[in-house]
Amino acid sequence: MSKEIPYKIYLEEQEMPKEWYNVRADMKKKPAPLLNPGTHQPMTLDELSGVFCRELAEQELNDTDAYIEIPEEIRNFYKMYRPSPLVRAYCLEKKLGTPAHIYYKFEGNNTSGSHKLNSAIAQAYYAKKQGLKGVTTETGAGQWGTALSMACSYFDLDCKVYMVKCSYEQKPFRREVMRTYGASVTPSPSMETNIGRKINAEFPGTTGSLGCAISEAVEVAVSTEGYRYVLGSVLSQVLLHQSVIGLETKAALDKYGIKADMIIGCAGGGSNLGGLMSPFIGEMLRGEADYEIIAVEPASCPSLTRGSYVYDFCDTGKVCPLAKMYTLGSGFIPSANHAGGLRYHGMSSVVSELYDQKLMKARSVEQTAVFEAAQQFARVEGILPAPESSHAIRVAIDEALKCKETGEAKNIVFGLTGTGYFDMYAYAAYNDKKMTDYIPTDAEIAASLAKTPKF
Amino acid sequence: MSKEIPYKIYLEEQEMPKEWYNVRADMKKKPAPLLNPGTHQPMTLDELSGVFCRELAEQELNDTDAYIEIPEEIRNFYKMYRPSPLVRAYCLEKKLGTPAHIYYKFEGNNTSGSHKLNSAIAQAYYAKKQGLKGVTTETGAGQWGTALSMACSYFDLDCKVYMVKCSYEQKPFRREVMRTYGASVTPSPSMETNIGRKINAEFPGTTGSLGCAISEAVEVAVSTEGYRYVLGSVLSQVLLHQSVIGLETKAALDKYGIKADMIIGCAGGGSNLGGLMSPFIGEMLRGEADYEIIAVEPASCPSLTRGSYVYDFCDTGKVCPLAKMYTLGSGFIPSANHAGGLRYHGMSSVVSELYDQKLMKARSVEQTAVFEAAQQFARVEGILPAPESSHAIRVAIDEALKCKETGEAKNIVFGLTGTGYFDMYAYAAYNDKKMTDYIPTDAEIAASLAKTPKF
């Protein structure tokens, strides 16, 4: 089969996936279960249902059904911004002079600016279906909060976002997008919660942290009638929803008879790469095909490449269940000069287990090299990429340049998770040559890991 | 013909237009020519070629060829972000409870965030082809400057942008996007030009104006070897390039057997609406079909609805040729509370002449009503629209609500020119209920019009 490949491959609406793919069903050794932080026993459905919507809790625990139907209401919302294009990077290939064929799945063509909306709409749908009044969540830079605001607005659900105070003050644009969609946005730590008041009393003038914002959001969810907490990454349910990225990518490649050689994705909590690679990993698990899969993480927050595979807290506040994952320790905070996103201390249990089974590789890259790739990409492909996504661009370019040396025409597929329109301070630092790199020392990582729970 | 209409109609790559459509060729009474401001005689090709690239000057004067080939290099660039989707606004229709079918042509899925890129890439291409070193331009909020930076980066041309000083300082994000694409961005008035130094001396501490930035950009273009000046709207060449919007829209409608009843577009300088409506107007001019076409402008800058159809200066600095157009006078400046874009004092000669021939209508709307429509649209259709585009949304919603009363199932098509991600200060004012309206008095408009040239 040999068709001329367009710049952008769009599936037809009727070719969009009708089911999510649950990679856990094809894993012989399953990801380790979430544990109750008090008892160290696996979280039960009832325990999870106190924090999450019932159906989402069921999805979180479901490691046996390979396919789960996407409800029609969610599919209709997907139709507003999906299918996303699989783009052949003709201009980048030409610029690099590589024989490789480079493809990227672009998830940034929606107002949240990223793939986060794929799971936000699912989580809002199940909350609405359960008859809840609203949901709570935390957000750092604001991508996830924006996606959730959009989803809640669509289903007429209340949305309470706890936004890390320094981002709330420094990134007023994201905040206003959320407010435009009707969300309430509260700087964290606030004076509205016990944990917020406690932290404000202990650390007067603190500008907050994601861990603290999570704790506030969870406290409000479990103490307010008709509310549940939602999370934008890390969880297995989120990776399930994000499988729509990989399923569309696979369908688009199949449509043109293209066999991917490499799949590259940035990895913070793991939701994007987990979703992108899932149908490909599924083929590997079933012995049907082989792919080289690469997770790319920041050198300043290298959970897969330098972390340990142990049970750890998911949040700094230690209110969430324990997860077995590659982690740098829940107290690990990337150095202050780190502008490139992907700052989570751990990695999704699914991605961690697949990595431990050596079904995929990981690579860490420094941020100035990431922004160099981002700028190069922007100038030839037009799209100004998110710093997170640019980690994948860096490695895709590196691999394409290797192909130039070897003469191999590999098919390289990477995930372009989003746009960088709200990250211009980071670009400004790069443009002004003020961006620096930092790689944590072994001692720093060891000190942080020493605080993981022992049992 | 009756096919189920998807949420988004994407043309195939091979269905994209290969020629621009030049509506002037089908006009019996042509738009009035540009005049030399010194002699009041029509600008010659040689005169225009001192300021613009030769081929663009030819296009500016060409009112006889109905179709002009889009060079392959431009078509290849178009393929990176075009065809843009024609979206069926199912969710908005449902929310409004209208029997009308609403479609919008969405031009915001590129990093410039708007339709401006369609002409920027053409202008950069012709500059490169002529062997020029670079181009100069002005930008206010930065949409046009961003588009031009992207285009120049692609063709490896130098790009000098004079950005109105208050925007330069208040909108650092747009500035950084331009710098990321390699443009030099200078706050205007600068100390680099005669006119800039003169204005800075006369008005110390001035934060600049678009008129002043135009004058600086033109001065640098005509006094620097290998440079020309480019402009993002108003000119006939720009409307020609923007015809790609209308051609794609027409092709997508035809593909599904849909006959538009109304075409609605926002109008500042006229480039978006001029491009969107051109093939439809062409059918009207040739007596093949009839459409209701509505230009929507801000009540605070109402050139079509309250201006005069006379020769006027295109810029406040009075260095550009004179154009016959609906104008409020080149010294007209919308009131300070105006946040919604579309602040140009005049209107493209092509649009002006078509309006004068009563082939289209115009309506003005107030900005709080515009932002109300923007928010309503964002909440159901997902996309956060640019304030400019939201003028068209306002009227599309008004017309759809009229259909609800009459029971008519009209096909309403509007142009969604871009996204509002860089306009969050305006959204914040709306969210905080601090946005106000202003309608200029008849006396204010008369006073401004009194200063148009008399001859």
Residues A228, A258, single domain; the answer is no
Residues of A in contact with B384 (CB under 8 A): 111, 177, 180
- Burial string for A88-109 (b: 16+ CB within 10 Å, else e) reads bbbbbbebbebebbbbbbbbbb
Answer whether residue A385 is part of any domain: yes
Residues of B in contact with A113 (CB under 8 A): 421
Domain boundary among B214, B234, B254: B234
Taking CA atoms, what residue in A is nearest to B155?
A380
Residues A294, A425, single domain; the answer is yes
- Burial string for B430-448 (b: 16+ CB within 10 Å, else e) reads bbeeebebeebeeeebeeb
Residues A88, A223, single domain; the answer is no
Per-residue pLDDT tens over the stretch B308-359: 999 999 877 787 899 999 999 988 888 888 887 888 899 999 999 999 999 9
Answer whether residue A4 is part of any domain: no
Integer angstrom CA distances of residue B389 from B51, B419, B446: 30, 8, 28
Residues of A in contact with B81 (CB under 8 A): 382
Please answer yes or no on whether A7 and B80 come within 8 Å at the CB atom: yes
From first to last of the 455 residues of chain A, give the pLDDT tens digit: 457 899 999 999 999 999 999 999 999 999 999 999 899 999 999 999 998 999 999 999 999 999 999 999 999 999 999 999 999 999 999 999 999 999 999 999 999 999 999 999 999 999 999 999 999 999 988 899 999 999 999 999 999 999 989 889 888 889 999 999 999 999 999 999 999 999 899 989 888 888 789 889 999 999 999 999 999 999 999 999 999 999 999 999 999 999 999 999 999 999 999 999 999 999 999 999 999 999 999 999 999 999 999 999 987 778 789 999 999 998 888 888 888 788 889 999 999 999 999 999 999 999 999 999 999 999 999 999 999 999 999 999 999 999 999 999 999 999 999 999 988 989 999 999 999 999 999 999 999 999 999 88
Q: Is A97 on the interface with B (CB under 8 A)?
A: no
Indicate which CATH number applies to the domain containing B260: 3.40.50.1100
CB neighbour list of residue A231: distance below 8 Å, 6 or more residues apart: A137, A214, A238
Answer whether residue B2 is part of any domain: no
Residues B242, B290, single domain; the answer is yes
Residues B255, B217, single domain; the answer is no
Residues B283, B185, single domain; the answer is no
- How many DSSP H helices and E strands does chain A contain? 18, 15
Domain with A336, as residue range(s), is 82-113+237-449
Domain boundary among A167, A199, A234: A234
Residues B293, B218, single domain; the answer is no
The number of CA neighbours under 13 Å toward the Cβ of B95 is 18
Domain boundary among A234, A258, A287: A234
Residues B245, B344, single domain; the answer is yes
Residues of A in contact with B113 (CB under 8 A): 421
Total domains in chain A come to: 2
Q: Å from B308 to nearest chain A CA?
A: 37
Q: Of A238, A13, A227, give the one whose Cα is nearest residue A114.
A: A238
Q: What is the dihedral of CA A399, A400, A406, A407, to 10 degrees?
A: 150
Residues of A in contact with B393 (CB under 8 A): none
The alpha helices in B133-235, defined as continuous H runs, are: 143-155, 165-170, 172-180, 194-202, 210-223
Q: How confident is the model at residue B2 (pLDDT cuts 50, 70, 90)?
A: low
Residues A275, A380, single domain; the answer is yes
Answer whether residue A8 is part of any domain: no
Q: Which two tokens stand for residue B294?
A: 């509505």
Residues A320, A354, single domain; the answer is yes
Answer whether residue B193 is part of any domain: yes
Residues A202, A324, single domain; the answer is no
Please answer yes or no on whether B424 and A6 come within 8 Å at the CB atom: no
Answer whether residue B167 is part of any domain: yes
Chain B from 49 to 68: CB within 8 A of any A CB: none
Answer whether residue A133 is part of any domain: yes
Answer whether residue A49 is part of any domain: yes
Residues B444, B328, single domain; the answer is yes
Mutation to test the B interface, candidates A177, A255, A425, A434, most B Cβ within 10 Å: A177
**pTM for the full predicted model:** 0.95
- ipTM of this predicted structure: 0.93
The partner residue sitting opposite A176, judged by closest CB among B176, B179, B424, is B424
